[in-house]
Structure 1
């Protein structure tokens, strides 16, 4: 019964309700033989498709399966580079202000666990994307220190604003410190583009994907439109566009 209630509730929440409303509107316009009904129906279909798990997984899986996550004990690197993935400025945290977003927080946890397992220095790459943002690497550095990481093992790049700059500025820091085998930690959906851009800079990286989005389970609930699933579909589309732009030399 709880499962059925949850399924019905999802259709009444904003995204499910919008899809239903647009669907009813398309049906109404069809009865009135409106000229724009085909376009409206197409919009409803695309919005619905991008908001359900099977389609989102279909978009994400080729990106996430490009690189496998290696076993930690098999890693041969001399520095861990964590790429930024979003930060929320001006909000309270345990020992300061600003917090990492969902993707960045997952990358942070993975990088910290690898640091503790391997004893390698951490390079936090990510600055302010917009003037009012907080510095991603500064927030991550504060969190690392509060969790017991040694200050001498933390390095930051607070200038990069995108993946291409992550790669370029990380290369300069690696060269300055004599690091030649960086382990790059980022979300699995982002790893293919990140690896391409880092290798374009001449870095011999080991990709370490994390923050996976495409699961394997499918249920009736998977076909209910969900805002989080739509967001994941948009992330995947953004990555395909970004990867094409990088390969075309536009990044």
Structure 2
């Protein structure tokens, strides 16, 4: 049920989708006796879209997520295993083109491959199925295998988890296939903005991992006052941040995480 709600109500609540919906409602009201309310909604929609698109709002929402975990400290020694969260590969387009198609967050795969080369004894788990509400048999993990092949990572070191549809299932299924032993050290590779939610879910699943954030969108505090020259970029960042915050709130309310904004462990 949570998965269905996240793919329907969750997507509808993203700022761009929500505001366009309000704007369309306003246009429809212009044809009725509530025309004055319709005009107000249209004007409000334009102003809020401009705010989301050009102001630093998206950066402000994204910054506490991306800055929650520091870069991983390699001085602690070699890890026993590495979990790479899916997301970069569009499985449907990859199936249509019969080749891996990386659309976003490519740093997850690049960093995963680099870590695999640096730590040749570490086991590698790539977790990613299909995030679509209505899906075919195309799974991200299947095409990730092709990418790692091209990067020269031996398949004998790789475990591909292809059933998961969201981060909650990433954590549950990754633990099942990795079967981490007590005392083992595992890294979790995912986008910096996504790391708080991912860490919270892995902790709840009982899979102890060390965060390895990648794929930053912001350079630092100076971006908190940086305006965007392209509305599309600002809207994309605002949607990205709000999607993550909605996910954090939803998982906390349903008891799937223990903290609203999970942070570094106190070990």
Corresponding residue of 1:114: 115
Match of 1:249 among 249, 254, 262: 254
Please give the residue correspondences for 1:1-251 in structure 2 after superposition, counting only pairs within 5 Å: 34-52=36-54, 54-74=56-76, 76-88=78-90, 89-91=92-94, 97-103=99-105, 105-119=106-120, 120-130=122-132, 131-132=135-136, 134-175=138-179, 180-216=184-220, 222-249=227-254, 251=256
CA RMSD of aligned residues (A): 3.2
Compute the displacement of 1:92 (Å).
Answer: 8.6
Please list every run of 5 or more consecutive structure 2 residues that lacks an aligned counterpart in the other structure.
1-15, 24-29, 257-267
Corresponding residue of 1:10: none
- d(CA) in 2 for partners of 1:40 and 1:241? 25
Compute the displacement of 1:82 (Å).
Answer: 0.5
- d(CA) in 2 for partners of 1:145 and 1:178? 30
Classify 1:107/1:93 alpha carbon distance in 2 versus 1 (closer, same or farther; 3 Å): farther
Q: How many residues align?
A: 222
Compute the displacement of 1:76 (Å).
Answer: 4.8
- d(CA) in 1 for partners of 2:168 and 2:96? 30
Structure exhibiting the larger radius of gyration computed from Cα positions: 1
Is the 1:56–1:214 contact (alpha carbons within 8 Å) kept by the matching residues of 2? Answer: no
Classify 1:50/1:75 alpha carbon distance in 2 versus 1 (closer, same or farther; 3 Å): farther
Encode CA deviations 1:215-250: one digit per residue, 9 max, x unaligned.
Answer: 3466x9934343133122111101111111111226
Is the 1:136–1:158 contact (alpha carbons within 8 Å) kept by the matching residues of 2? Answer: yes
Classify 1:235/1:68 alpha carbon distance in 2 versus 1 (closer, same or farther; 3 Å): same
Is the 2:69–2:213 contact (alpha carbons within 8 Å) kept by the matching residues of 1? Answer: yes
Classify 1:247/1:57 alpha carbon distance in 2 versus 1 (closer, same or farther; 3 Å): same
Aligned residue for 2:227, secondary structure, equals helix
- d(CA) in 1 for partners of 2:55 and 2:119? 36
Classify 1:116/1:179 alpha carbon distance in 2 versus 1 (closer, same or farther; 3 Å): farther
Bigger proportion of residues as strand? 1
What is the TM-score of this pair, normalised by structure 2?
A: 0.72
Corresponding residue of 2:260: none
